[in-house]
Structure formats: structure tokens, C-alpha cells
Structure 1
């Protein structure tokens, strides 16, 4: 369907942040006409949110605080769970630690303080939460131990999250229009206040669902506009320009439609101020056989290869290049892609033996998702890796021999930072160091998969209203949420913070936009 010529509140982007903003606006002002547009076709609904594991980081007071939100913890199972509380100070400490103290203090304070109430709000609106047994807990001595401060995910991951958001939007009278790309932000002739957008809408040919009519340029008048269209991670030119050499070769983990258009349009049309880490991004270890320029909506997040803390990683020369056990996985996985991208040919090999392969997550490492390189001896494993692109066979074997000799005795526990470390290596492994000497052996080939970029627009933290570079004041009627919001993350981030940020600031932006409408109407009476 073509979008209407006017609405009260227009949200641009159909990911978690955009849906949260639209839902908040519709509930804050039930009389408002709230619509969502997205340049992607309907088959790509959900933006990058669709490709996530659905993890939401939140402050909480322990297991009993979260049990009312979830649908997958029977009383019997709950009795076996060990879950420490994760306080607001814990969350803030992790944000500061992961970003080396460069996170915007006002934004991060709101993110942390609003996290639990916002997740409760989402749950009341039909977002199905679960305890993340498969990603954030290990069963040790018949106890289910959660780790890394992250406990919640959505049912069926990102796919389920977007299904639930679409259902909530329909329930709240929010219409969604796809194939609609914004080309310009419109402002009033006498002020900088937003009055709408110019768009190109590509209508689907009803006789042939695989073809479209040429794009039709039109305008949508709106009293408030909320930008939620993602970063520039799917644009190889902008990646090379801002992230640096080699980033044009990174695999795109999610939607191919996050190309940074709206970031550039906002700067051009309203002098939107830019902030944050424009040379930084969220980038993971990604299957080297995954598609290059877009995620696979069937496989989705399962191309992630996050089992490296249980083994080691080597580059194609056969050399280790990173401390695989420097921290819990959800504090390192968002930066590990950058380290892989810096290696020769931008690839690496993850390696395990029979001790740790049973601990790998099947959704990421089963043979139907990733190519298994196996051997009954390390020499045979090396040969299989050579077949897959390893150039330093002898170095690979020497690296494994030296690593095995450097492992110190101790108690291995994947649910805590166990201190089981190597000694005497140029590149240490600080935790979870076990010898790789028990057949059969497994390796997989990985590369860098980019998730989202960290640079974005400056906003008023209270309302997510966009700030003008020219005036230093808010652009009336314009808001920014999700990946487009800059200042929160630098170099790294605590896993699960992205979806929480989208919901927290989406909720605030929607409420602020609705309140602006009410104020305008009151002023006219």
C-alpha cells in the first residue's frame, strides 16, 4: 500500500527501536495517527533487530525479579538456577568498562535506569521474553549458572521479536508501509520545525509480486518525525570511509538496507549534529561461508561463531592473535570481528578438542549451519584447515604444541572467569585454558561480520530530540533512536545493550512526540 499524504507521528524504520517509538506514541496519545515507513520491502521487515538473538540487557534484582516476565522456566527448573542480581551500578560499570569511560554519561544513565521498566512495558505489550538458557547459562554440577549479567532474550530471537512488534503495532492501530524511502526532511518556511518528509514509494505490481512499478516521489506531512533507520553498516563505501581500510570487505550480518542514507539526509537538511564513535562498530566472528552483503533471514543469527572462549583462534598463518579468554563472551564478541578483520585475508580458524566441543551451541555450530573441519589427529586437522585456506600448517601445529604446554592445572568452569590461564606465551589465554589434545578435533573458518555502527546523531537524552549543529538547540519535531543515536557505545559494548537502548529511547521519543502533539493542540484552542 502507498503511505498516506499526512499523519501525526511518522516513524522511519521497522526495527525494534522504530516499533518501540511508534507503540509508545500511540499509547501516549491514542487519538494520534501514528505510522511507520521503511525503504525495505515487507519481506525484510525488522531491520537488524530481526537478525539478533533477541538479547535484552537489564538491571534486575535476581531470578525472582525476572521470572514473572518469562515463559520458559518451570518451578522445577527455576529451583536449579543460580542467577546473581545485576544492579544498576553493575550495568553502568559494564558500560564504562566496555567503552573505556567514553559512553555519554547522561544517555547511559537513562539507559540503565529505564532498562527494567522498559522491558516490563514491552512484556505487557506482548513481547515474549525467555531466560537465555542456550546463550547465557551453563549447566555445571546440576546447577544452571547464568553469567555475564545478561539473562533475557525474546522467544525465537529476533524473528520472534519482530513478529511480536508487528502484532503490537496492529493492536494499537499503527500502520506500516514498506518500499518507501525518505529522500528529504521537510521544514517550515519560517522555522526549522519538521513538517514532514519527501519519499519515493515503489509500488509492488499486483500481477507480479516479484516486480515493482518505478518509484513515485511524494510527500508525507507529519507533526513529528522519529528517525530509526539504522546505521551505515551495509554501505561498503561509508564503512571504508569511516571505519577504515579493509572494512569494505566485512560481511554484513543483517539487513542490506541500513546504508546510512538518513544519517546523511539529517545532516544535510537540518544540520543534525553528529557524535560518538564513527570509526567504531559492533562486529562479531562470523561464518566465512555466509553471504557477503546481507544476512540470511532463514539462518539469521546462527552464522555467529561465539565459541572461541572455549578453544583458541589462529589466523591463516597458524598464529594466535587474541586472548580468547580475556572476559566473558558477551563482553568480547562485539569487538572480536575487528581483530579478525586485521588478520591476513581477514579470516581465522577457531579450534577445539573433544573436551569442549560438547559445550558449543548447536544453533551456531551444527554441521547444517557451518562447515566442519575435523581430524582424529592434530596433523589431520591441520590438513583439513589447509584445504580451507590455512597457509601456515607447520606454524599451526607448533602453535598448538606451545599452547598445550603453556596450560596450567586448575579447575575449569565456563560459567565464571575461572583463572585457568596459560603461562609463558606471547599471547596469553586468561581463562578457560584447556589443552587441545583429545580427539576428535574440530575447527571452523570465520571472518568478520558487522552488525551496526556506533557513530550517530546527538540528542537530548531526556526525549531523544535531535540537536542542531548550527544552533545547538533541538530541531522541533525531530527525534532519533536505535542505531542512529550516537554517543552510547565506543569500540565495544556489553552484549544485549543495543536492543535495550532501542526500546528505552524509542519509548521516550514516542512519548515526547505525543506530548508535543498535545501541547500544539492545546495552544491552538
Structure 2
């Protein structure tokens, strides 16, 4: 960019997992990196801050993960099944209905393990997810399940703390409260960003810009426009600062749209907790993700989804929208004395949790505003229809099926032993799938498939890999993998 004085070699927009990975990769190469974050310091970290920190990577079993893990005495009695790259690829493809871009999916899968090993070498800390992804075995020890096995020490909060510490040590300049509103073009290449609007607008110049500012989950107008009426009622589970500004900025300079613009990652969230939106103290603890262990009913006392269709890692991001479709956008997860001990303690033992308990099913129904006869009919029909495996086993798809409509395909256990528990849930939107198009090296592409010089994308802004659903933990993997690629080239 002859004639232009740059403020940095690389500008990264968005200080979450994806943006930090890009910033670290560029800084490691000796580039001058300026990381711009829309939120103030006390609200920074993007959606990454609100996660449990779980990251899905391909691996060959526990021995393959050990070099990245913090010491833990439980490791000696732990079994972690391998999660091969082909299985990872197939999981994404199956959950996306085959619409995912195969080339970029292969990059995500194949680079997932090397990318986390690289981050660990820089100082990121990882541990096995004992509280969320394994079950103690009757004979002793721990067995992991579901392909999602490790995460950041301290969850999303610890992740952002580690990233910030490492970035500052590598010389990355982080500026908060920077509302980037547009991209600057010079000689058909991106030459920087516009910060602010109107009389407050100023320009920052760089050789490359990496977009990592998230999707549009906190923009109710865009949600209704793209997903339909009712989505304005979805509770923003993560950062309130992802409003699609940088997607709009990229489209304005010719970037092509890509990915699934018809739905979003949305989970079941505590419906009645008074501060269930963007709660930085409780973060992921407000989600209610043990539904495969019980049944979910609407206000009419009817079931409406297959709680046991697959491990929760493969269904949880799709079931929030199913709750949104129910009367009042509310549903209730039901458990009894037998199933209650199987629930995730980090979420279901949360302080101030919304829960109703009763000794009988009829008393429970009255307490939550459901016709007792209707709920009794649903539960009796469910209980009577259970067939399949004799033993309940949450570590595998055990085939204990309830042959009702809709069925429960696995982990069907009769609700018959008091006390009974009802957890009210609503739809908590996490992130959107639709974004801008890139190639396999994270370069933003225009409508003709040509790379826009100087512009890269990663994280939730990158469309084309996840459609309709995704395997849990793959979102953080995508941000880190394509962030590293972007920072390596920028």
C-alpha cells in the first residue's frame, strides 16, 4: 500500500477465541498486530467467554491428548476412546445434511489437533472434561463418551484470560470499545477499517484485516428477517455485541454470502432465571443440557422431540428452536428420583436454579401450570412403551427406546419414582451459522470465487461448514483452526 502509513501490519476485529488465535499466529511471525474489540474490557471475550471451553479435536485416544493436559490424578484410571478424523468429518457432514463444504471441513478436522497443540505450546491450558463428558464406572474409573473430551482450564473465562496473557506477552496491542463499522478499500484490496460512525469516525490502516467479530445472534431484526417471526423472543445466551456489523461490512465490499442463513445454534436455557441473558457470572451454567436423561414436555403436557436421538453433543444446538416453537416458547424437562442423579452438576446444581419439585406427578403438573390428566397420560404412555436394552447405559447409544410419537430412541427410563423434578426451559440463542464465504486458507471470497486481497475471516463469521446443526465443541475448533490460518497468511 504505497503512500499509506499503516497503524499495524495486521488488524484483527473481534477478541474472542477466533480473533485471538489469528492475532497470536500473526504476532508469532513478527507482525505488528492490532486487536480491536467492540466490548469494554469487563464485557470482552465474545461468545467464547460464555462457553464451557470444550473444543472438539481428532485424536487417537488418551495418549494422544496427554502432552496437552494439565496434571490430574484421575488420568491413571481414565479411558478416552479415540476420535478419528474420519468420524469427525462424518459427524459434521451428517449434522449438516451433506451441505457442508468438504474442503474446508477437511481442513478443520485435520488441523484441529495440531492447532490446539500449537496453542498449548504458547501457554493455553487444557484439561479433560470430567464434569461434562464422562461417567464414573461401577467398578471404578472414568469412561469418556461422545467425541468431545478436552477443554480450557477455567472454561471460557479461563480461555480468554489465557489468550489475553499470551497476546500481550507476544506484543499484540488490544484496544477495547472499538466499534468497527466498515472496511477501507485501496486499489481493489482491503487496506484497513473504519472505527466509529459520523463525526466520531476514524480510519486505521493495515496490510491485512482478519474478521472475527461473530455472527448476528444479538440482532433481533436480522433474526426475524432471516429465521422468521418469533425469533425476537430468543434469549441471547452469549455476547450482546455480535450484531452482524462486520458481516454487513464484508458484504459491502463484495464478499459472497455463505452458509445456513435459515437457523442458528440455539439451546435449552433456564427460562425463569431473572438474569438468563448474557450472564457473565454463570455463563454456560444456565444451559440445561441433560435432557437425554429425562423427557421434555410443553405447556400442554405433550412431548415434541426425541430426547434420545443421539448424544447431547449432536442434538443440543438444534433443540432450542424446537422449544421456541412451543406455546409461549416454554417447555419443561422432567426427571424423577432415578434420573435426577445423572444430571450435569455444573448446570443442575446451579445456585438459584429454576426448578419445581413434587412427590407426585399430578402435584408437579399443577405447580407448573399443566393439566395433571394430560401429563399423566403422556408419562404413562411413555413408560408403557419402553423396550430394548435391559440396562440403561448413558455412555453408549443403548437402544432403550420408548415407542411413542415422537419416540425416544435411547436412554428411555420410566418416570415413576418420586420426587419428580421440572426444569423450565426457553430458547437461548448462541450463534448464527450464516456468514461470508472463504477458501480453505481463510481468505474471503467474492461472488466470482476470487479472493478479496487483504481480507480474511474466521469463527462464527465464516459460513459454509455448519448447516442446521453441528457437533458440540466444533465451533471453538473452527475459530482456532481458521484463525491460525488467517494469522499465518495475513
TM (norm. structure 1) is: 0.90
Distance in 1, Cα, partners of 2:449 & 2:93 = 26
Deviation at 1:477, TM superposition (A): 0.5
> Of the candidates 255, 272, 282, which is equivalent to residue 272 of structure 1?
255
Deviation at 1:301, TM superposition (A): 0.6
| SS, match of residue 185 in structure 1 | strand
| 1:472 maps onto 2:472 in alignment | no
Correspondence for 2:110: 113
| SS, match of residue 333 in structure 2 | strand
> Of the candidates 331, 336, 341, which is equivalent to residue 324 of structure 2?
341
Between 1:224-233 and 1:291-300, the stretch displaced more is: 291-300
Change (3 A) 1:292 1:266: farther
Work out whether residues 72 and 131 of structure 1, in 8 Å CA contact, stay in contact via their aligned partners in 2. Answer: no
| SS, match of residue 163 in structure 1 | helix
| SS, match of residue 402 in structure 2 | coil
Correspondence for 1:498: 475
| SS, match of residue 162 in structure 1 | helix
> Of the candidates 404, 407, 410, which is equivalent to residue 390 of structure 2?
410
Deviation at 1:364, TM superposition (A): 0.7
Deviations 1:231-269 (A, max 9, x none): 00000000111122211110101000000011011111x
Work out whether residues 234 and 294 of structure 1, in 8 Å CA contact, stay in contact via their aligned partners in 2. Answer: no
| SS, match of residue 221 in structure 2 | helix
Correspondence for 1:73: 72
Change (3 A) 1:450 1:86: same
Work out whether residues 5 and 219 of structure 1, in 8 Å CA contact, stay in contact via their aligned partners in 2. Answer: no
Deviations 1:131-152 (A, max 9, x none): 0111110112123111111101
Distance in 2, Cα, partners of 1:399 & 1:311 = 13
Work out whether residues 6 and 220 of structure 1, in 8 Å CA contact, stay in contact via their aligned partners in 2. Answer: yes
Deviation at 1:81, TM superposition (A): 1.6
Correspondence for 1:169: 167
| 1:315 maps onto 2:292 in alignment | no
Deviation at 1:394, TM superposition (A): 2.1
Distance in 1, Cα, partners of 2:416 & 2:220 = 41
> Of the candidates 399, 404, 409, which is equivalent to residue 419 of structure 1?
399
Correspondence for 2:415: 436
| 1:362 maps onto 2:345 in alignment | yes
Change (3 A) 1:464 1:55: same
Work out whether residues 183 and 197 of structure 1, in 8 Å CA contact, stay in contact via their aligned partners in 2. Answer: yes
Deviation at 1:80, TM superposition (A): 2.1
Work out whether residues 362 and 373 of structure 2, in 8 Å CA contact, stay in contact via their aligned partners in 1. Answer: no
Distance in 1, Cα, partners of 2:384 & 2:348 = 27
> Of the candidates 379, 384, 393, which is equivalent to residue 362 of structure 2?
379
Between 1:348-357 and 1:399-408, the stretch displaced more is: 399-408
| SS, match of residue 428 in structure 1 | coil
Correspondence for 2:142: 144
Correspondence for 2:19: 18
Q: Cα RMSD over matched residues?
A: 1.6
Alignment of structure 1 residues 503-514 onto 2, 5 Å = 503-513=480-490
Alignment of structure 1 residues 245-284 onto 2, 5 Å = 245-268=229-252, 270-284=253-267
Correspondence for 1:205: none
Work out whether residues 277 and 487 of structure 1, in 8 Å CA contact, stay in contact via their aligned partners in 2. Answer: yes
Distance in 1, Cα, partners of 2:275 & 2:299 = 19
Q: Which runs of 5+ in 2 are unaligned?
A: none
Distance in 2, Cα, partners of 1:90 & 1:235 = 35
Deviation at 1:290, TM superposition (A): 4.3
Deviation at 1:292, TM superposition (A): 7.6
Distance in 2, Cα, partners of 1:289 & 1:240 = 23
Deviation at 1:223, TM superposition (A): 0.9
Distance in 2, Cα, partners of 1:301 & 1:5 = 39
Between 1:128-137 and 1:242-251, the stretch displaced more is: 242-251
Distance in 1, Cα, partners of 2:428 & 2:65 = 31
Alignment of structure 1 residues 456-467 onto 2, 5 Å = 456-461=435-440, 463-467=441-445
- What is the aligned length? 484
Deviation at 1:291, TM superposition (A): 5.9
Deviation at 1:129, TM superposition (A): 0.4
Work out whether residues 401 and 409 of structure 2, in 8 Å CA contact, stay in contact via their aligned partners in 1. Answer: yes
Deviation at 1:329, TM superposition (A): 0.8
| SS, match of residue 134 in structure 1 | coil
Correspondence for 1:101: 98
> Of the candidates 210, 223, 228, which is equivalent to residue 226 of structure 1?
210
| 1:180 maps onto 2:178 in alignment | yes
Correspondence for 1:449: 428
Deviation at 1:419, TM superposition (A): 0.6
TM (norm. structure 2) is: 0.96
Change (3 A) 1:41 1:145: same
Work out whether residues 299 and 369 of structure 1, in 8 Å CA contact, stay in contact via their aligned partners in 2. Answer: no
